[in-house]
Amino acid sequence: MGNLITFLVLLVLGYVIGGYLERRHYASIRQREGEIVSLPSIMLKKPISSNEPSNYKLVTGNVVISVDYFKKFMASLVNLFGGSIEAYETLLDRARREAILRMKEDAKGASEIVNIRLETSSISTNSQNSIGAIEIMAYGTAIYL
């Protein structure tokens, strides 16, 4: 009985604290995206501008985000019955947006970023092959006019 109570307490804590931290991170992402929205970032290899660039620079941004206990529990339930694992979808969305923001912040003063690429990997997998954390790296070429 004590194990069940401990499990339920951890589950509720994971839901409450994880949800709060996720909402706070999304608010931070939205605010920072609003500040840096003027920097064009494209996946094309050629710049948008026809002006001659004065400098190029490789810019990167990476982030590692761990999966909270509640998301792991919900994912394991969905795995039993099948379907889309929305708990991991929000995790990947936050990580992608954060990595792109960090890349844009690395390109301070650039007029645009071209040839953007994203790399994703799962890390900290345990013996049951469940994901412990994910890393996303965004990189591209910053063009300075």
Over residues 35-59, the mean pLDDT reads 86
Q: Give the pLDDT band (50/70/90) at residue 57.
A: very high
pLDDT at 99: 96
Quick: pLDDT tens for 62-75.
999 887 767 777 77
CATH of the domain at 24: 3.30.110.70
| Verdict on whether the full-model pTM lies above 0.75 | yes
Number of domains composing the chain? 1
Q: In the chain, what is the straight-line distance between the N-terminal and C-terminal CA atoms, in Å?
A: 67
User: pLDDT at position 129, please?
Assistant: 62
Structural domain harbouring 51: 2-144
